[in-house]
C-alpha cells in the first residue's frame, strides 16, 4: 500500500498544496507533478548539483529531499527566480561570458550562485568552493567563476 501525505508550501511565491507519496522526491514532484522542468536531474545521488533549488533561501539538492520535507517551507526554482528578476544580472553575465553551453548545469549553478551572493564579497576561492558541488561538463568552470565574480563586484558598486 502506498503511503501518502498532505503537504503545503510556498513555491515561487504561490501556495501549493498536494497529496504526495511518502517516497516522492522533491525534484520529481517539481518536474513531473508540477511540470517545472527548469530544475534538472543528473545523478539523483546528491553529487552533481543539477537539481539545486532554494529552500528557505538556502540551496538544497531536490533529488535528496523528499517532497514531504518541503511541507511548510518556501521553495524557489529557476522559474520563480527568473520571473522575479532576482538573478537577471547573473543570467545576463552567464550569457555574456559563455558561462553556459549546453545549459544543463545552469539552473543548479544559478541557485548556488544566488545563495552565495547573499554574501556580498566572495573571493574567487570562495566562489570555487561554493561551486564545488555543482558539476559542469562543458565550460571548464572559469567562465562561471568569472561571471559570478563580476556580478558580485557590480552589486557592490555604488
Ligand atoms: S541530480 Fe541532484 S545532485 Fe545530481
Ligand atoms: S553548460 Fe553544459 S553541463 Fe554546464
The domain total for the chain is 2
Task: Identify the H or E element spanning 53.
Answer: strand 52-55
For ligand 1, atom 3, name the residue with the nearest CA. 46
Ligand nearest to the CA of 41: 1
CATH of the domain at 126: 1.10.150.120
pLDDT at 37: 98
Q: What pLDDT, in 10s, does the model give residues 54-84? A: 999 999 999 999 999 999 999 999 999 999 9
Ligand nearest to the CA of 64: 1
Separation of CA 99 and ligand 2 centre (Å): 8
- Is the same domain home to 23 and 35? yes
| CA angle, 108 then 114 then 7, to 5° | 70
- Is the same domain home to 92 and 56? no
DSSP helix/strand/coil, 113 = helix
- Is the same domain home to 31 and 14? yes
Mean pLDDT score across all residues of the chain:
96
- Is the same domain home to 49 and 115? no
Dihedral sign for Cα 43, 44, 47, 48, please.
Answer: positive
Q: What pLDDT, in 10s, does the model give residues 2-30? A: 799 999 999 999 999 999 999 999 999 99
Range of the domain at 59: 4-81
- Is the same domain home to 91 and 48? no
pLDDT at 1: 62
* pLDDT mean over 83-99: 97
Question: How far apart (Å, rounded) are the C-alpha atoms in residues 58 and 28?
Answer: 19
Amino acid at each position: 500500500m502506498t503511503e501518502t501525505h498532505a503537504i503545503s508550501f510556498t513555491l515561487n511565491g504561490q501556495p501549493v498544496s498536494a497529496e504526495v507519496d511518502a517516497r516522492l522526491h522533491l525534484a520529481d514532484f517539481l518536474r513531473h507533478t508540477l511540470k517545472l522542468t527548469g530544475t534538472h536531474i543528473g545523478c539523483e545521488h546528491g553529487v552533481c548539483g543539477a537539481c539545486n533549488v532554494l529552500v528557505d533561501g538556502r540551496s538544497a539538492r531536490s533529488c535528496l529531499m523528499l517532497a514531504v520535507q518541503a511541507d511548510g517551507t518556501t521553495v524557489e526554482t529557476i522559474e520563480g527566480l527568473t520571473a522575479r528578476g532576482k538573478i537577471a544580472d547573473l543570467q545576463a553575465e552567464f550569457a555574456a561570458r559563455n558561462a553556459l553551453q549546453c545549459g544543463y548545469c545552469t539552473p543548479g549553478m544559478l541557485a548556488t550562485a544566488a545563495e552565495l551572493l547573499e554574501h556580498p564579497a566572495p573571493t574567487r576561492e570562495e566562489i570555487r568552493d561554493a561551486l564545488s558541488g555543482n558539476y559542469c561538463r562543458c565550460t571548464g568552470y572559469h567562465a562561471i567563476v568569472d561571471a559570478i565574480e563580476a556580478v558580485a563586484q557590480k552589486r557592490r558598486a555604488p
